[in-house]
């Protein structure tokens, strides 16, 4: 559902079935951002976030990660932030709000100098 809504708003969305697949896609293709769920097969969203940020840093890229969850607790948000997530989104969330966060972050990153490796 998120893919359909974001595609309708003009985003090119790539879907991964699990964490390892997401990491493989991000290693092969340049992505502008990652939206991941906490609950996933094979690897949870926290670990995807940690590994993805390490991987992208090694590639000289700075990719924002947003984590979504159907459950919201302060400890969950703290753990997501510790993993490097920009924001924790509670499902269901207004897609317009998510797109606004994405656009704000993309614009902020465009105005920064490139990341040093």
Task: Look at the block and give the residue holding tokens 């207004």.
Answer: 94
Q: What is the predicted pLDDT for the residue at 65?
A: 93
- Alpha-carbon gap, residue 88 to 29, rounded angstroms: 24
Per the document, the length of the chain is 117
**Selected residue with higher pLDDT from 116 and 14:** 14
Q: Is 60 exceeded by the pLDDT of residue 14?
A: yes
Q: What is the predicted pLDDT for the residue at 53?
A: 95
**Is-contact 85 64, C-beta < 8 A?**
no
Domain spanning 17-90+106-117, CATH architecture: 3-Layer(aba) Sandwich (3.40)
Q: What sign results for the dihedral spanned by CA atoms 101, 106, 111, 113?
A: positive
Residue 61's CB is within 10 A of a number of other CB atoms, namely 17
By CB atoms closer than 10 A (0-12, 13-18, 19+), residue 21 is middle
Query: Three-state SS across 70-101?
Result: CCCCHHHHHHHHHHCCCEEEECCCCHHHHHHH
**Selected residue with higher pLDDT from 14 and 106:** 14
For 17, half-sphere exposure in the C-beta direction (CA atoms, 13 angstrom radius) is: 0
| pLDDT, tens digit (0-9, with 9 covering 90-100), for 22-81 | 999 999 999 888 989 998 889 999 999 999 999 999 999 889 999 988 887 888 889 999
Which helix (H) or strand (E) segment is 65 a member of?
strand 65-69
Q: What is the predicted pLDDT for the residue at 72?
A: 74
Q: Is 60 exceeded by the pLDDT of residue 112?
A: no
Task: Look at the block and give the residue holding tokens 């708003």.
Answer: 9
Q: Is 80 exceeded by the pLDDT of residue 114?
A: no
């Amino acid at each position: 559902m998120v893919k359909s809504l974001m595609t309708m708003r003009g985003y090119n969305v790539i879907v991964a079935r699990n964490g390892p697949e997401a990491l493989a896609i991000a290693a092969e293709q340049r992505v502008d951002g990652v939206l991941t769920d906490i609950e996933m097969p094979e690897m949870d969203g926290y670990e995807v976030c940690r590994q993805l940020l390490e991987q992208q840093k090694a590639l000289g890229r700075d990719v924002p990660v947003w984590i979504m969850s159907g459950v919201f607790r302060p400890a969950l948000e703290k753990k997501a932030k510790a993993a490097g997530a920009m924001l924790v989104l509670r499902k269901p969330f207004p897609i317009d709000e998510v797109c606004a966060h994405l656009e704000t972050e993309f614009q902020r990153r465009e105005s920064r100098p490139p990341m040093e490796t």
